[in-house]
Amino acid sequence: MSELWLHDVGDDVTREEIQKGCAAAKALIESRGLTVDQAYAAVMKRSNRESFDRNAAKAWDDAEDAALGAIFGDIDDWPDDAVLGLAGEV
């Protein structure tokens, strides 16, 4: 199973804070009966304009919001370039 990571969140965000956000994201995805890999595959297919599982892609989108919310709180405080992805990707 793939591990999540938050990319481009800024230099002042600690590894522990990122891990906290990723745990929130993973919990949200799993609460919808999906795996990280299923949600990631759906969002990648969507970005490539392929047929995709809408529920899985929505879970990914919501998980990204949950991860960033766990670190930054209010949506107005989130870095513009921050994105949820898989660990090891840039």
The whole-model pTM stands at 0.91
What local confidence, expressed as pLDDT, does residue 90 receive? 54
What local confidence, expressed as pLDDT, does residue 73 receive? 87
What is the C-alpha separation between 89 and 19, in angstroms, rounded? 15
What local confidence, expressed as pLDDT, does residue 2 receive? 85
Taking only the tens of pLDDT, the chain with its 90 residues reads 789 999 999 888 999 999 999 999 999 999 999 999 999 999 999 999 999 999 999 999 999 999 999 999 877 778 889 999 999 875
What local confidence, expressed as pLDDT, does residue 77 receive? 78
